[in-house]
């Protein structure tokens, strides 16, 4: 499992979202699932080549066509992205992040209680 990810651009992440959804896909399949206005086939193809270079995607060849698949699981990327986000904006503290959202009224008491319940389920009982 790769844990030291190079950051993805918005366009790269959008392509990865489609690949995670499809699991395996040709460029045409990816273009078909992207929102309007759809990028040009060559643009998507170029972004996928960048994702291959970054180690996020690999492919299998079928003649002149390649079918692409993710090498990085969505969950692993999400975990890493959140950790980097919290590190950059909240001094590495999830408590600071939750406090920020609570102060901004972007999170309710019920949502905080739900998070606390989930954390209690995840932590080992002593």
pLDDT tens-digit readout, 19-57 = 999 999 999 999 999 999 999 999 999 999 999 999 999
74-122 CATH pick, 1.10.4040, 1.10.10, 3.90.1200, 2.60.220: 1.10.4040
**Cβ contact 76:3 at 8 Å:** yes
What is the CATH number assigned to the segment(s) 10-70? 1.10.10.10
Helix (H, G, I), strand (E, B) or coil at 62: strand
This model's pTM is above 0.85? no
| pLDDT at 3 exceeding the cut of 70 | no
The predicted structure's pLDDT at residue 18: 96
Cβ count near 31 (within 10 Å): 18
- Alpha-helical runs (H) found in 7-126: 10-22, 27-33, 41-53, 74-89, 94-103, 109-122
Of residues 56 and 88, more confidently modeled: 56
């Amino acid at each position: 499992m790769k844990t030291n990810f190079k950051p993805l651009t918005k366009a790269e992440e959008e392509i990865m979202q489609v690949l995670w959804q499809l699991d395996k896909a040709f460029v045409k399949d990816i273009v078909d699932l992207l929102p309007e206005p759809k990028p040009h086939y060559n643009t998507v193809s170029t972004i996928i080549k960048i994702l291959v270079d970054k180690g996020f995607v690999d492919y299998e060849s079928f003649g002149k066509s390649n079918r692409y698949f993710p090498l990085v699981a969505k969950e692993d990327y999400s975990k890493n992205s959140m950790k980097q986000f919290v590190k950059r904006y909240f001094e590495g503290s999830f408590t600071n992040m939750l406090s920020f959202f609570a102060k901004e009224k972007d999170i309710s008491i019920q949502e905080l209680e739900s998070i606390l319940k989930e954390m209690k389920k995840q932590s080992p009982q002593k």
